[in-house]
Amino acid sequence: MPGTERGGRLLILGGTGEARELAAGAVDDGMDVVSSLAGRVQRPRLPVGEVRIGGFGGVDGLADYVRAERISCVVDATHPFAATMTRHAVAACAASSTPLLRLRRPPWSPSAGDDWFRLPDMAAAADYVATRRGRVFLTTGRQDVGVFAGVTDAWFLIRVVDPPSALLPPNAEILSARGPYRHDDEAALMTAHRITTLVTKNSGGALTRAKLDAARELGIEVVMVERPVEPAGLVAVDDAASALAWVRTVIRR
């Protein structure tokens, strides 16, 4: 039954490794956990506990779900670039008077020897790549591929989990793969394809960090798209252990 006294009812807006780690810890704690996935990946890695897949229908739909399911608290553990979901979570939790925590992994920072060119969004990255030409390793996910469709003077190796549905750049090869990725494999891949520019989002985390280390080792420039700005005033932590501690405090209170 939703909202049992034994452990409370936690809604995790997930899809990330941190979300799965939090779900496992909360279930071990005896909590009633629901993890919500957007459904954008065909074969997602599923967390333990109850899972729902698909959108809520905007802010009102999420607020209604929280009320109907008697959710004790919400942890937004979505991807750092899932800006719309984060805004919806803030508004829905405010409307339903539900405690909200943002679980976001720390961003990557350049190390000595890195050649990073930081840009605010994907459109700026596409404009920059168009001026550089060369051979591009595009690792921003399938939803952003279409932004680069008009870049005609560069060759792209596009790595995605699921095939992109958007229009592709005219000179492109699709590589279907899922992390984690090993440093040696990343270096070999970029060497074999004679990559001159790596384009990525500042997602953070260890799962896909190896490409940055390999790029530094090979002297490849990195176009780093920075994270979108999140709503002000969010209570946030950067690891699952801290999120679980917060959930315990809220539910026990």
143 neighbors 163 (Cβ within 8 angstroms)? no
Q: What are the residues whose beta carbons fall under 8 Å from the beta carbon of 28, sequence distance 6 or more?
A: none
And the tokens for 138? 């595009």
**What is the pLDDT at residue 84?**
95
Report the chain's C-alpha Rg in angstroms. Answer: 20
Q: Looking at residue 97, what DSSP letter applies?
A: T
Give residue for tokens 């074969």. Answer: 43
Fill in the amino acid letter for 25. Answer: G
Fill in the amino acid letter for 128. Answer: Y
Strand, coil or helix: what is 111?
Answer: coil
Strand, coil or helix: what is 140?
Answer: coil
Q: Give me the sign of the Cα torsion angle 91, 92, 98, 101.
A: negative
Q: pLDDT truncated to tens, each residue of the chain (253 aa)? A: 344 444 479 999 998 999 999 999 999 999 999 999 987 666 778 999 999 999 999 999 999 999 999 999 999 999 999 999 999 999 999 999 999 999 999 999 999 999 999 999 999 999 999 998 899 999 999 899 999 999 999 999 999 998 998 999 999 999 999 888 999 999 999 999 999 999 999 999 888 899 999 999 999 999 999 999 999 999 999 999 999 999 999 987 6
**Distance in angstroms (rounded) separating the CA atoms of residues 170 and 153:** 9
Fold: same for 9-106+229-252 and 116-225: yes
Q: Where are the domains of the chain?
A: 9-106+229-252, 116-225
Element (H, E) at 124: helix 122-132
And the tokens for 70? 């008697």
Element (H, E) at 117: strand 116-119
Class of the 116-225 domain? alpha beta
Q: Measuring CA to CA, which residue among 37, 87, 99 is closest to residue 243?
A: 99
Element (H, E) at 224: strand 221-225
**What is the pLDDT at residue 41?**
65
**What is the pLDDT at residue 89?**
97
**What is the pLDDT at residue 159?**
97
And the tokens for 139? 């690792």
**What is the pLDDT at residue 86?**
97
**What is the pLDDT at residue 42?**
67
**What is the pLDDT at residue 183?**
96
And the tokens for 235? 């209570």
122 neighbors 225 (Cβ within 8 angstroms)? yes
Strand, coil or helix: what is 156?
Answer: strand
Four-point Cα dihedral 49, 52, 58, 63, nearest 10? -40
**What is the pLDDT at residue 43?**
77
136 neighbors 157 (Cβ within 8 angstroms)? yes
Class of the 9-106+229-252 domain? alpha beta
Fill in the amino acid letter for 171. Answer: N
